[in-house]
Amino acid sequence: MLFIKGGKVMKGLNKVILCFSSLVMLFSISFTNNNTNDNVSSDLPSSEIIELPSIEDSSEEIIEKPSSSEMSKPIYTKKTKVYINPSVQHANLYINGKGNEATNMNDVARYLKKELDKIEFLEVLYNLDNLSLKNSVAESNAFGADIHLALHSNAGGGRGSEIYTINSNKFSKIIYDDFNELGDFKKRGIKNGKHLYEVKNSKAEHVALMEFLFHDNMEEANWIVANKELIAKQLAKSIINFVSVYYYATM
């Protein structure tokens, strides 16, 4: 009987693959003489192990892939700077008697702060000290903001939402579209803000001034007051999504 040694179990298989650099087959032949009962055999013992040289495993090395959670993590070399500038127009009273443009937009900004401060790839500065328009723009520029977003409610007898920008249509569109998902509002559009001091003088790459709804319209004033936290969460989602796509690659 002959045993051949030198097989190797390959990774990922449930069977043994015999690998040989050369194959030598030896046979042990026995003849039985029925008349004389004499055995005739080869020179090898009836049972012998033949050692064959081991062969290196040529299968490809298995590379462990990153988990799905690791694949979703953004890669960033620096934090994106965001400046949030709520209205400081205290004289613009809400028709429902519930505050004014400055107080309500500052409330939205405070809710927004709770959301954005959780995000590790953002560095956010908020004008919550009622800095004047000129001083808040100067603060944003000194901060080196990548994104500058102004929060306002509108007036003048109309209804609906609009956003002002000059060269930041992609950012403005996501802010505008996401807000309008919250209700059946009249869409007044993305407009040229070159006449607005804040839009014109802020040096951030992406600058937008959002006019959410009209605070001299009773229905819309009531909606803003009742949904300030919701507005903030939607803004946070928009900013995070935009920054993730625009600034950071993913694995």
Return d(Cα 234, Cα 237) in angstroms, integer. 5
Q: What is the mean pLDDT of residues 55-82?
A: 58
- Check residue 74 and give its pLDDT: 52
- Check residue 186 and give its pLDDT: 98
8: helix, coil or strand?
strand
Instruction: Take residue 33 and report the two structure tokens written for it.
Output: 């003489």
Return d(Cα 121, Cα 248) in angstroms, integer. 10
In a domain, 29, yes or no: yes
Q: Does 127 lie in the same domain as 20?
A: no
Given a cut of 60, is residue 100 above it in pLDDT? yes
More confident residue, 80 or 30: 80
Q: What is the pLDDT of residues 210-245, one digit of tens each?
A: 999 999 999 999 999 999 999 999 999 999 999 999
Q: Does 90 lie in the same domain as 22?
A: no
Q: Does 82 lie in the same domain as 58?
A: no
Domain containing 150: what range? 76-250
Q: What is the mean pLDDT of residues 85-109?
A: 98
In a domain, 69, yes or no: no
Q: Does 59 lie in the same domain as 116?
A: no
Q: Does 110 lie in the same domain as 31?
A: no
More confident residue, 46 or 246: 246
In a domain, 233, yes or no: yes
Q: What is the mean pLDDT of residues 14-28?
A: 40
Residues making up the chain, counted from first to last: 251
Q: Does 98 lie in the same domain as 7?
A: no
Q: Does 144 lie in the same domain as 221?
A: yes
- Check residue 67 and give its pLDDT: 54
Write the DSSP assignment of 141-187 as a string of letters: HHHT-SEEEEEEEE-SS--SEEEEESS-HHHHHHHHHHHHTTS---E
- Check residue 86 and give its pLDDT: 99
Closest Cα partner for 231 from 181, 191, 192?
181
